[in-house]
Structure 1
Amino acid sequence: MSKDDRAGEFGPIYLPALQRIRGLWLELEPLVDETAYDDDVAPTELQINLEDGLCDADSARLDIQWSELEMYSFQYVDSDDVNWRFDRHPNTHAPEIHFHRPPEAVTRDAEPSCIDVTEVSLVTRAVHAMWRAAYEDDDMEQLNSVSNPP
């Protein structure tokens, strides 16, 4: 997610939340290949590499940000250049909590997110559950399709 996508304050990155998200993905998802932070000293993003991706993709990565103001971005990109993301941040193009559909995750095409919860563990579980359902069914329409996950 570009910082230009935000129209208000996102807030400083909250490392304990990124650590919790990392732990949950490692616990929940057997396809996690490795995890890393973009900077060891002052991380602004957690990166989760997956051994496989949606549909025909051979690999995928989630780039995750979580702020002290409980704003977030879970952005997916895979080896087939498919992108989507779940965001919570002030903006001018969609509700504060929104979803950018695959395959391009175009900013102007954001729609309301089906994720109503805001607590870090619950948001993480919701994103994971929808990713896992889409993965198992080979169906990206499963993303943002659940009534108030997790």
Structure 2
Amino acid sequence: MAELRTIRDVFRRGEPLLADEAFDSVLSPRELRLSFDDGIGNADRARIDVVWYTSGAYSSHYTDSADVNWRFDRHPNPHSPEMHFHAPPDAESHTAERSCITVTEPRLVARAVLKLWRRAYETDSVAEINTAENPP
């Protein structure tokens, strides 16, 4: 899927801690796993799993070795805005709140997720992970 390759390329060009990237399938990729040599705070490694659907729905799920999770999603559902964020530390469904990411183009969504991850990494805190204006 071209969208996942675009997202992979954004992370390749923009993140020096990217250690590895892998698609779940060579022939028909549905998920991209981005692995990092370090994580936020006490985590010594981290991963962002990205799923992008042909409808434009997506999920970017962060998880790390300190058991911290958070997730930016776009999909319709009855209990949260279409573009929403699941807060750390567990990214539980009931924690969904409006996402600060308002763009929908894959390259821009990837840049926004990368920018927010990088800010959290540099500050050693996920406290403001979903607080930004026009993050790309």
**TM-score, normalization by structure 1:** 0.88
1:93 Cα deviation (Å)?
A: 1.8
1:47 is aligned to: 33
Matched, 1:128 2:114: yes
Residue identity over aligned pairs, in percent, reads 49
Residue 97 (structure 1) aligned with residue 64 (structure 2):
no
Equivalent-residue separation in structure 2 for 1:83 and 1:30 (angstroms): 21
Letter in 2 for 1:149: P
- Partner of residue 67, structure 1: 53
2: CA distance between counterparts of 1:93 and 1:74? 19
Residues 93 and 107 of structure 1 are in contact (CA less than 8 Å); yes or no, is this contact kept in structure 2? no
The unaligned stretches of length 5 or more in structure 1 are: 1-14
Q: 1:23 is matched with which residue?
A: 9
* Secondary structure, counterpart of 2:133 in structure 1: coil
Q: Is the 8 A contact 1:57 1:79 kept in 2?
A: yes
Q: Is the Cα–Cα contact under 8 Å of residues 76 and 84 in structure 1 kept in the other structure? A: yes
| TM-fit CA distance, 1:149 | 1.3
* Corresponding residue SS for 2:102: coil
CA distance in 1, matches of 2:78, 2:2: 29
Q: Which of 70, 88, 100 is the equivalent residue of 1:84?
A: 70
State the 1:42 CA deviation.
Answer: 2.2
> Match of 2:127, SS?
helix
SS at 1:68 equivalent: coil
User: In the TM superposition, what is the alpha-carbon distance from 1:66 to its structure 2 partner?
Assistant: 0.8
Map Cα deviations across residues 44-98 of structure 1 (whole Å, 9 max, x no partner): 1000000000100010011101111111100000001110000000112210000
- Kindly report structure 1 stretches of 4+ aligned residues shifted beyond 3 Å: none
Q: What is the match of residue 33 of structure 1?
A: 19
CA separation in 2, counterparts of 1:101 and 1:42? 30
Q: Which residue of 2 aligns with 1:137?
A: 123
Residue identity in the other structure for 2:10: L
Deviates more, 1:39-48 or 1:57-66: 39-48
